[in-house]
Amino acid sequence: MTALTSSVRHTAATAAPTAVSERGWGEDRPRLGLRAYITCLKGIVWREVLRYLHQRERFMSALVRPLIWLFIFAAGFRQTLGVSIIPPYETYVLYEVYVVPGLLGMILLFNAMQSSLSMVYDRETGAMRTLLVSPFPRSFLLVSKLTGGVAVAAIQAYVFLAIFYFWEAELTGWGYPLLLAPPAALFALNIFNSATDKFSERFMQRALLLAAVVEVGVIIAVIYLWKLSAPSMNYIAVAPALVVSGLMLGSLALFMSSVIKQLENFAGVMNFVIFPMFFASSALYPLWRVKESSVLLYELCLLNPFTHAVELIRFALYGQVDWPSLGIVLACTAVFLGAAIFAYNPSKGLIARRGGPGSGA
């Protein structure tokens, strides 16, 4: 944040004499080059990533929900809910394989809402004002915040995919204890420090870095010693689908944070959006099964943009593109992002109409 503020001040100071001498600040804004925009984007994204890394409890909670579905619900539904051969699958798959795209969508959805919650908090504490007074366009600043949230969601998604890779491998012997030892030790250290506050924040950051390095070494050793094959899914091809889906869900959450003025009201609205979107989709069960039980629910699932985000991720995991879902996701992203930028403008839009900043009330 400090680097970003310094960059903004330097850019503004450089352009200030020309603007003041010719027309004045009110009529001629300083012209910013591409380098300034890249610096601004990098600073905002890096701030979001650092905030995420410093909030270790947020990292744990982001993985608990999908892992519970994978380890408990999917294992229980394996024998009762089979998945027939439907695209993109070329053979019958286990239920835990089917729900992986839906659980990735869950990570993106919950992270988008968490990021929008931080947007409301930053707006109330005045952090967003520091950005909005800069010479950068408001739309660019909001898109930069959105990009930072998507970067954090991508990190969470790939950590989940790494866990699923070893879960699918069904290691024997000391495989799983070796993999779980570094994160378990780090988790115990966090619990101990939360209760006693014995270690400094700098020490905990070094412990986190050390645990990450050790975990990478353990992963390499396990893959080599157990002679594990490549993942059954395409972890590289899914990256664009994660980004596009994350942008759509983040744009929706950004629009919500733009029209909700109080932090206390956001939690209730967030649950009202998350659970219908998640359960009325193809995340947990195929749409053909939904259609067999309720045609109305099937139609609602088709209208749900989260369904198409999940299907886009599902096809991408097998190196394919679901073009209808891609078109719907891109269209929804444009609509949600445009509405969010319009609503966040304090001089017009929904906030102004409801008596917010810029309404003259």
- Kindly report, residue by residue over 63-82, the tens digit of the pLDDT: 888 998 888 888 777 766 66
Mean pLDDT of 279-300: 91
Name the residue ranges covered by the structural domains of the chain. Answer: 2-8+35-168+234-346, 172-225
**Given pLDDT bands bounded at 50, 70 and 90, which one contains residue 264?**
low
Contact 260, 266 (CB under 8 A): yes
Q: What is the structure's pLDDT at 177?
A: 92
pTM: 0.83
Residues 120-174: pLDDT tens digits? Answer: 777 777 677 777 778 888 889 889 989 999 999 999 999 999 999 999 888 888 9
Q: For residue 205, is pLDDT > 60? A: yes
Q: For residue 356, is pLDDT > 60? A: no
Q: For residue 25, is pLDDT > 90? A: no
Q: What is the structure's pLDDT at 337?
A: 94
**Which residues, in sequence order, are CB contacts of 215 under 8 Å at separation 6+?**
179, 182, 183
Residues 228-254: pLDDT tens digits? Answer: 999 989 999 999 999 999 999 999 998
DSSP letter assigned to residue 30: P
Cβ atoms within 10 Å, residue 52? 23
The SS3 call for residue 347 is: coil
Q: What is the structure's pLDDT at 263?
A: 66
Q: What is the structure's pLDDT at 3?
A: 47
**Given pLDDT bands bounded at 50, 70 and 90, which one contains residue 16?**
very low
Q: What is the structure's pLDDT at 20?
A: 36
Between 11 and 207, the higher pLDDT residue: 207
